[in-house]
Amino acid sequence: MLVRVSVNGEWREAEVWPGSSLLTMVRDDLGLPGSKNACEQGECGSCSVWLAGELVCACLVLAAQAHEREVRTVEGLAAGEAMHPVQEAFVEAGAVQCGFCTPGFVVAVTDLIERDEAVTDAEVREALSGNLCRCTGYAKILEAVRIASGRMHLREDEV
């Protein structure tokens, strides 16, 4: 079946198997491998993307459900060569080890900060409870969220 989606602001289409997940479509058919496939059953959050503005696990969504809708992936965050503030913060805080979970965390953290101006550590832990990391112990990820949140809201205040 033909599925047509707006991905990171560009309309794309692909011929996919009717049972194909959105994750398979973005990775294999649209050539966007940033979203990772770690569990394929909604447990780890490494495949997090936005579908029509809502954070979803792309492994749990059929590609067909995204037809004629807007998808935003981790590849849509950087502005050319310039990293998104959340990506910068992860690098700065050293919140990346193997990196497999990182795209999902970056997407989930961006979603949280874009929606919530003053996130507390408890809210961050709750919001990120669907994202699993086997390497970092989470302390540096929380530090990255603090750095990114401070910078993103500072930039908004400057506008």
| Contacts to ligand FES by CB under 6 A | 37-40, 42-47, 57, 59, 96-102, 133-136
Query: d(Cα 7, Cα 34) in Å, to the nearest integer?
Result: 13
CB 112, min distance to ligand FES, A: 17
Nearer to ligand FES (CB atom), residue 61 or residue 119:
61
Nearer to ligand FES (CB atom), residue 77 or residue 106:
106
CB 89, min distance to ligand FES, A: 15
Query: d(Cα 145, Cα 124) in Å, to the nearest integer?
Result: 8
CB 83, min distance to ligand FES, A: 17
CB 38, min distance to ligand FES, A: 5
Q: Residue 37 CB: number of other CB atoms within 10 A?
A: 17
Nearer to ligand FES (CB atom), residue 16 or residue 101:
101
- From the number of C-beta atoms within 10 Å of its C-beta (0-12, 13-18, 19+), residue 63 rates as buried
Nearer to ligand FES (CB atom), residue 27 or residue 84:
27
Query: d(Cα 59, Cα 25) in Å, to the nearest integer?
Result: 10
CB 86, min distance to ligand FES, A: 15
Nearer to ligand FES (CB atom), residue 51 or residue 133:
133
- CA 88 vs. chain centroid, Å, equals 15
Q: Provide DSSP, 96-113.
A: -SS-SSHHHHHHHHHHHH
